[in-house]
Amino acid sequence: MARATDFNPGTSPTLNMQFILSLACTQMRLTPAEAIAASTINGACALRRADRVGSLEAGKQADLIVLDVEDYREIPYYFAVNHCLTTVKRGRIVYSR
């Protein structure tokens, strides 16, 4: 199973992945760990890109976010709060709060 926003103003007007994780947990009864896996490595597998992205491994493209949370389970729990401190794309910081 893969989860994503599919941001599209006509049919899917959200771009907030924390909200998608929250929906996966509350409506699909996934655990936070399952929802995160569905949004990272499983999404990469669905796109046939798991050899390059989707997990933190040597040799993979470094796309990641650093969140201001005490525990990963807070990500879907506090879905309306922007926890992002830093965004890294291809190994370069593209956003830092």
pLDDT over 90 at 16, yes or no:
no
pTM above 0.95, yes or no: no
Amino acid symbol at 15: L
Burial 76-95 (b: 16+ CB within 10 A, else e): beebeeeeeeeebeeeeeee
Mean pLDDT to the nearest integer, 65-92: 93
Mean predicted lDDT score pLDDT of the chain: 93
Main-chain dihedrals φ then ψ at residue 73, nearest 5 degrees: -70, -15
Give the residue extent of every domain in the chain: 17-96
